[in-house]
Structure 1
Amino acid sequence: MSLIEAIIFGIVQGITEFLPISSSAHIVITQLIFGYTFPGLSFEIFLHLASVLAVTLYFWRDLLNIIKGFFKYIFKRHREDRVQFFFGIYILIATVITGVLGKLLSDAAGDSIKTPQFIAGALIVTAVALIFIERFHRTGNKTEATMGVKDAVLIGLGQTLAVIPGISRSGSTLVVSLLAGLNRETAVRYSFLLSIPVILGSTVLAVDEISSSMIDYIGPANLVVAFIVTFVFSIIGIIWLIEFLKRSKLIYFALYCFALAIYVFFFIDQGIIFEVE
């Protein structure tokens, strides 16, 4: 792998991880363009570590408040800590649902969900969902103080679909959060905070796939560069998305997903399966 390619992979992973356009679809498309197959999921997992580090550092105050409030409520039962306690519970509920059902769905589907045709279809589903929630659904007024277990379960189920390349994790959590009646600010915050245990959990479970063969295949220097670039562009993606959603619409991401789906469907060989070996 060249240094330029390592930088491009880092930019793609960093920018797309938190935008509602499916990072997994972009990574496999980028692999195909450059003609790479990586040992296991090692390279993608390595880049995910940079993304989860970025979102953790960006939201460290929120995380600290949730953790402090969670344990203070358990041991002291202070009323002011109740919201943080239950918000932490809702994050755990959605994470467990995603972890268990996502693993089952991924194992059952296998490589059948990695064909260009399937990815194009999944991108269209993401686009339609974004258009529906933006154009045909009235935003609710639930906050972290008024959401409930049912909301967390629904959002966890929606996030589970993101194991399919082309179904965006951030997009699915945003759409289901808004469908459940969360207001826009709470939906965005919940989506970002939920990404931390989900990405970190999936990374830890598969960390044994980060092997010496992957390091030799890509090169130590290129791995360091890709990690740094992913981290930087993940921060940029987080900041940009938060500011973008304050003044603009999800429909623009839907249009992008439609355009990418058309490209994948018509210009990528339909006989190819994106095997990451």
Structure 2
Amino acid sequence: MTAVAEEKAPATTARLEARGVTVRFGGLVALNDVDVQVPAQSIVGLVGPNGAGKSTLFGVLSGLLKPTAGTVLMDGEDVTSASPQARARRGLARTFQHPELFSTLTVREHIVLGYRIRHAKRRLWTDLLTGGGFRRPPAAETERVDALVDALHLGGVQHSPAAGLPLGTSRLVEVARALAVDPRVLLLDEPSSGLDVRETEELAATLRQLVADHGVSLLLVEHDVPLVLGMCDRVHVLDFGICIAAGTPTEIRDDPAVRAAYLGTAVDETTEEEPA
């Protein structure tokens, strides 16, 4: 976005927004008039049971799926008809529920790939597609890749090929690659799936630090309700394609409709397990 456009955009303009998004597949309504806002430098959670419409909404926001009705905006500009590539150029990145990695590339090469997609596209052709490999990296690239390797605790496997990595590690690699693009908004699809408790805590801390240090905005789909309530500024709850609640973690935790629908047990158990 140009400096002029940034001056015109109000300070309260969301980095990413869905307004009245509806998606129908024949007679099935997957999403019904859903609104979601992702403000600048924030973490927003999206929770709900299987079939609630979370993945469908991610598809609409990332440009992989066109809504039946409604609008998607980035920094206040309508991108409903924009391709995924056009949205990526505007600063949108995402991970997927099932990690999409290249089996023959190392962990570090995946992060380098993300960096060069954003900062050095020509080198992708000269160094990778022509068989030259990832050679002679500039200092800025090395510094950024090293920082992400350290932040996501990937140092021990950075030179290992992606093939054969545990699911949890593969997810961390995908997150690191997405962050290497330096996105303004990052969509995270089940980032904690496959991680143990320690890895989940480290990921949450890393993501919070990245938001604080780099100003990236995050929208994450998660089944780990305590994780969402513990790290998000705002949470949206979907059920059968309808947003039944939106608010702060405290508001969501205390919402009778949400608790009655499907969150009550998880929230109660989390509260009871806290040390006296």
Higher helix residue share: 1
Q: Fold conserved (TM > 0.5)?
A: no
Please give the TM-score of this superposition, normalised by the length of structure 1.
0.30
Please give the TM-score of this superposition, normalised by the length of structure 2.
0.30
Question: Does 1 or 2 have the higher relative contact order (CA < 8 Å, sep 6+)?
Answer: 1
